[in-house]
Amino acid sequence: MAAYRIKEWGAADRPRERLAALGAAALSSRELLAILVGSGAEGSSAVDVAGELLRRSDGSLRRLASLPLGELKRTRGVGPAVAARVAAALELGRRLEREAPLERSRIRGPADVFALCAPSLRHLLHEEFRVLLLNAQHGVVREVVVTRGILDASVIHPREVFKPAVVESAAAVILLHNHPSGDPTPSPEDRAVTRQLADAGRLMGIPVLDHVVIGESTFVSFVEAGLLVPG
């Protein structure tokens, strides 16, 4: 038996109409994804395709957000355009999650760094090294991605960290990166990078206030661990 197309459903059951009538919060993740999918494949509705996407990520939006476009396109009914829409929507969600703290919050300690940056870092399958540029009141001026890949002092040049700090007239910086393993324990390479950049910051008059390593649900602060003296 051929599957009903969404346009053949009753108006009260269609995801777009339900969103218009009840608001996006009333829809399931599957229905929201179906709106992004737009149209289904032969014999499958957009809701069916959305369900397949969720099954591919074990029902986790975080895992879905970590899948590359090529993996999304392995789902029947998901071509380049649909995969791009889904990836873009999930990225917008990550940015929205961290936008308000970025604009209104000052960094009072490493827990604030974790709250601000973990949503966009802890799901990644690769290491990503970033720097938070702070003003004199420790408000975040900008978050800069420095490198992607294995953290190594030989490939992270102080110029890449402090050039944007100079351009933005930052008063101080905080270093941060993720551990895809979920364990935020600093490695010897993490310590070497931190020493190198802290020394450079002292010479430039832009102190490194901390280095925060982000795991799946927790973090390690170099300052709290006694591995870095700020300034």
Spell out the domains of the chain, with CATH numbers in brackets: 6-96 (no CATH), 105-221 (3.40.140.10)
| pLDDT score recorded for residue 1 | 37
Q: Who has greater pLDDT, 230 or 154?
A: 230
| pLDDT score recorded for residue 15 | 85
Highest mean pLDDT among 4-13, 31-40, 179-188: 179-188
On whether the pTM is more than 0.85, the answer is no
The percentage of residues in the chain with a pLDDT greater than 70, rounded to a whole number, is 88
Task: Give the CA distances from residue 102 to residues 97, 98, 107, 113, 134, in Å, rounded to whole numbers and listed in that order.
Answer: 10, 6, 9, 10, 11
pLDDT tens by residue, 117-168? 998 898 888 899 999 999 999 999 889 888 887 766 556 889 989 999 998 8
pLDDT tens by residue, 27-72? 889 999 999 988 777 777 888 899 999 998 888 888 898 888 888 9
79: left (phi over 0), alpha (psi -120 to 50) or beta: beta
* The pLDDT of residue 112 is above 60: yes
- Residues 230 and 210: their CA atoms lie apart, in Å, by 6
Taking alpha carbons only, the member of 127, 126, 132 closest to residue 114 is 132
